[in-house]
């Protein structure tokens, strides 16, 4: 069943999902004030790695005390940001943020685009999407924006055709032509890499692909292009905190030449910088 956003883990597990990657500040303390520690939530790859580089090599000399909290899902970082236990987060794109605000009644806003983690199609059975057999099952994310993104990626290669006007929230109901009679299996994004043994292909978010040891640049049979791509990951804050001096410092570092080089060197095309310093 398609879900409007990725479901949160059970409340009893929420503390276990939020892993403090750096520093000893208690969970939920957040909001350190404009002169205190900036607590930023992130998924491990690539957001957590980019932030860890900033913390290790750039933060102190730029007057920023940075703490990173890592999350394993897409809901809790926004919930924590809205509730004030985080000062910012880095892991999502603007279509997802917009949908989250609409469905959850939150008031989170983008600050700056940081990088593009291209979504990819992966398979253990075929070498290209045009080789998918008739009636094959393709696994896709089950949240609104990532499912729409996955279908648009498949449509970009002509595997399916979407109805005119189908936008960022396209679903299988918006497929106008499906010449291979593909079946779509909707799964939580974190489960998609594990589905590769059971389906012909899976469309997987970048961070979950890398967490599973897949290289988007080398292993994807179809990968998004950075050109005119609206899915760059962004630094987000609760509305009203955009002018926090700590946020401004982090935004500047995320778009710096140093971070651009780090992304290019570390990810070799699996993550793409979207801004220059």
Among residues 208, 223, 238, the one where a domain terminates is 223
How confident is the model over 150-178, as pLDDT tens digits? 999 999 999 999 999 998 889 999 999 99
Residues 199 and 63 in one domain: no
Average pLDDT over residues 252-262: 97
Phi/psi of residue 87, nearest 5 degrees: -90, -25
**What is the pLDDT at residue 1?**
41
Supply the CATH number for residue 247's domain.
3.40.190.10
**What is the pLDDT at residue 33?**
56
**What is the pLDDT at residue 275?**
53
The answer to whether position 1 is within a domain reads no
Structural domain including 206 reads: 120-223
Contact between residue 159 and residue 178 where contact means Cβ atoms under 8 Å apart = no
Phi/psi of residue 45, nearest 5 degrees: -130, 130
Assigned token pair, 244: 């926090």
Residues 160 and 236 in one domain: no
Average pLDDT, the chain: 88
**What is the pLDDT at residue 30?**
58
**What is the pLDDT at residue 271?**
95
Assigned token pair, 110: 């983008």
Average pLDDT over residues 129-136: 97
- In SS3 terms, the chain reads as CCECCCCCCCHHHHHHHCEECCCCCCCCCCCCCCCCCEEEEEEHHHHHHHHHHHHHHHHHHHCCCEEEEEECCCCHHHHHHHHCCCCEEEEEEHHHHHHHHHHHCCCEEEEEEEEECCCEEECCCCCCHHHCCCCCEEEEECEHHHHHHHHHHHHHCCCCEECCCCCCCCCHHHEEECCCCCEEEEECHHHCHHHHHCCCEEEECHHHHHHCCCCHHHHCCEECCCCCCCCCEEEEEECCCCCCHHHHHHHHHHCCHHHHHHHHHHHCCCCEECCCC
**What is the pLDDT at residue 34?**
59
pLDDT score of 8 more than 50: no
Q: Beta-carbon neighbour count of residue 109 at 10 Å?
A: 16
How confident is the model over 40-99, as pLDDT tens digits? 999 999 999 999 999 999 999 999 999 999 999 999 999 999 999 999 999 999 999 999
Average pLDDT over residues 252-269: 96
Residues 100 and 196 in one domain: no
Residues 114 and 15 in one domain: yes
**Percentage of the chain exceeding pLDDT 70:** 86
pLDDT score of 138 more than 50: yes
Residue 276's pLDDT band (cuts 50, 70, 90): very low
**Best-predicted range by mean pLDDT (19-23, 25-29, 200-204):** 200-204
- What's the CA gap between 46 and 30, in Å, rounded? 22
Residues 65 and 157 in one domain: no
Q: Give the number of domains in the chain.
A: 2
Among residues 223, 245, 262, the one where a domain terminates is 223
The answer to whether position 124 is within a domain reads yes
pLDDT score of 140 more than 80: yes
The answer to whether position 98 is within a domain reads yes
Average pLDDT over residues 201-207: 95
pLDDT score of 4 more than 70: no
CA 78: distance to chain centroid? 12
């Amino acid at each position: 069943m398609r879900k409007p956003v990725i479901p949160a883990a059970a409340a009893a597990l929420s503390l276990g999902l939020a892993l403090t990657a750096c520093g000893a500040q208690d969970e939920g303390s957040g909001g350190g004030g404009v002169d205190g520690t900036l607590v930023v939530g992130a998924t491990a790859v690539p957001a957590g790695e980019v932030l860890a580089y900033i913390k290790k090599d750039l933060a102190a000399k730029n007057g920023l005390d940075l703490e990173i909290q890592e999350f394993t899902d897409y809901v809790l970082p926004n919930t924590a940001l809205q509730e004030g236990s985080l000062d910012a987060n880095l892991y999502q794109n603007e279509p997802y943020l917009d949908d989250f605000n609409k469905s959850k009644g939150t008031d989170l806003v983008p600050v700056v685009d940081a990088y593009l983690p291209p979504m990819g199609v992966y398979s253990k059975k075929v070498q290209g999407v045009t080789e998918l057999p008739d009636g094959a099952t393709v696994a896709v994310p089950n949240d609104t924006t990532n499912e729409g993104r996955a279908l648009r990626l498949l449509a970009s290669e002509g595997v399916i055709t979407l109805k005119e006007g189908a936008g960022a929230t396209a679903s299988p109901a918006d497929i106008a032509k499906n010449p291979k009679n593909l079946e779509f299996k909707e799964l939580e994004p974190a489960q998609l890499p594990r589905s590769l043994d059971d389906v012909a292909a899976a469309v997987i978010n970048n961070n979950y692909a890398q967490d599973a040891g897949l290289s988007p640049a080398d292993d994807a049979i179809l990968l998004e292009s950075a050109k005119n791509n609206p899915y760059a990951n962004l630094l987000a804050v609760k509305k009203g905190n955009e002018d926090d001096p700590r946020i401004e410092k982090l935004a500047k570092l995320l778009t710096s030449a140093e971070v651009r080089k780090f992304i290019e060197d570390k990810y070799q095309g699996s993550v793409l910088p979207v801004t220059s310093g």
